[in-house]
Amino acid sequence: MMENQFNFALALPEITLSVLATLILLVDVFIPSKNRSLTYILSLGALVIVTLVSLYQWNAGVAGHTFYGHYVTDPLAHLMKVASYLAVMVTLVYSRQYVIDRDMVKGGELYSLTLFALVGQMVMISASSMLTIYLGLELMSLALYALVAVRRDSLVAVESAMKYFVLGSLASGFMLYGISMVYGATGHIDLAGVAQVIKAGNVSYMAMVLGTVFVVCGLAFKLGAVPFHMWLPDVYMGAPTAITLTIGAAPKLAALAMVFRFLVEGLHGVAESWQQMLVILAVLSLAIGNLTAIMQTNFKRMLAYSTISHVGFVLLGLLSGVNANGSLAIGAYGSALFYMITYVLTTLASFGIILLLSRQGFECEEISDLKGLNRRSPMMAFGVLVLMFSLAGIPPLVGFYAKLVVLQSAIAAGHLYLAVIAILFSLIGAYYYLRVVKVMYFDEPAADAPVIGNQLTFRSGVMSVNGLLIILLGILPGGLMTLCVQVIDASLKF
């Protein structure tokens, strides 16, 4: 373990990506091109470099705290950072043609903002103090607010950006107030110090509970849990699809990491207070997410409410770790991590399909746009079928196993009633996924619907690998699940 207070080697991935993102921004100013091809290639190159840096550190066993306990590097940080890099890389590949067709890259800021948002996510993942969590959160959020409005000629996108900014600022205020309450009650800003003071009992219980309530509200907003979900459907539908994918994939991993650091490590001593909040958030998210999705006709809005319902499952895994003993608690937190990683994998492919089907002058956003897709492109229709079945939790796809391990953790922790509720709402939720399959395979295509050729491109190759992973991880989930449990065991102290 490296305990040097200024060990910059521990923060090498963040430093590397910050420098590279700044250089890419400068290169883009001095060597502009119509489609920003150089900027795109350099951005992918930067992501490859930081992926190799993190993999090297992980393999070398680099771990420890630095910057006076504000920053931590551990196996959990390595795993979630690598997953975030890959998610952003795939996002850029899927959205490349989309942003060119809509002239969204003429300013060159799209790729730089995406990389700076990723830096914020990395800081959130490695945060070990309340101050670092907030700094990472704001760095990510400010970049995402700007990305939603990057298509300045779209009134809908600008309106969505304003909603996201106003509600996001409100949630950040909640969290900052909660942080101030926790700091006032414990006298510590670092999470390890907070945990020690709570464990010693030298804390005002009422002040801690009040602070925890505000913190959980802020965390729930970033996850998109009910009743802090109001921004999510509007932003998903109003933002350009490429930006919707940017918001819906990698940031979810950072939000989960923030929850692990804040609640499981820092506030585990008052878990009985936030566990009850997570119960309410999980049930409401499962109920409202699934029931409201049934009424949607917009595909992106339906996937937004689907996201809310899946957040309910993640919260179910998190709350199941509180009352469990050592191995069961680690298994519960590991199941939540496995669920989020596989959900992000499925989300990438789901919005990637929408991006592939969209073309210049046409947004594939309504469920009716998929009518007769099987006749126009059987391979594409089969891909959507696999994704919808996985999201619905139908075996042998990865969505089924992800739900299974979360439900097993809930039952093992004594939350049988929550497991039953989750199963019931999952059955209800299967309806809107199967409706998409019905539209593709049994409805007549529109008279002006184009024939979709199965072109062999780099983007379609990445999509194929993405789809195969969803199938293979459903059949052979043991490796990833074991890895998730191992990094939780090695990293989280509770």
Q: Is residue 122 part of a domain?
A: yes
- Residue 67: the pLDDT is 87
- Residue 482: the pLDDT is 94
- Residue 455: the pLDDT is 57
Rounded Cα gap, residues 434 and 427, in angstroms:
11
For residue range 206-216, what is the model confidence (pLDDT) as tens digits?
A: 888 899 999 99
- Residue 79: the pLDDT is 95
Number of domain units in the chain: 1
The answer for residues whose C-beta is within 8 angstroms of residue 138's C-beta and 6 or more apart is: 120, 172
The answer for residues whose C-beta is within 8 angstroms of residue 90's C-beta and 6 or more apart is: 249, 348, 352, 462, 466
Query: By residue range, what is the domain housing residue 211?
Result: 8-491
The closest alpha carbon to 349, from 428, 442, 248, belongs to: 248
Q: Is residue 234 part of a domain?
A: yes
- Residue 2: the pLDDT is 43
Q: Which residues of the chain have pLDDT under 50?
A: 1-3
Q: Is residue 316 part of a domain?
A: yes
Q: Is residue 3 part of a domain?
A: no
Residue with tokens 């709402």: 425
For residue range 282-292, what is the model confidence (pLDDT) as tens digits?
A: 999 999 999 99
Rounded Cα gap, residues 432 and 270, in angstroms:
38
The CA–CA distances, whole Å, from 125 to 3, 118, 284, 310 equal 19, 10, 27, 21
Q: Is residue 2 part of a domain?
A: no
Rounded Cα gap, residues 283 and 162, in angstroms:
29
Q: Is residue 1 part of a domain?
A: no
Q: Is residue 194 part of a domain?
A: yes
For residue range 355-365, what is the model confidence (pLDDT) as tens digits?
A: 888 876 677 88
Tell me the DSSP string of 289-316: HHHHHHT--BHHHHHHHHHHHHHHHHHH
| H/E segment holding residue 73 | strand 71-73
- Residue 1: the pLDDT is 40
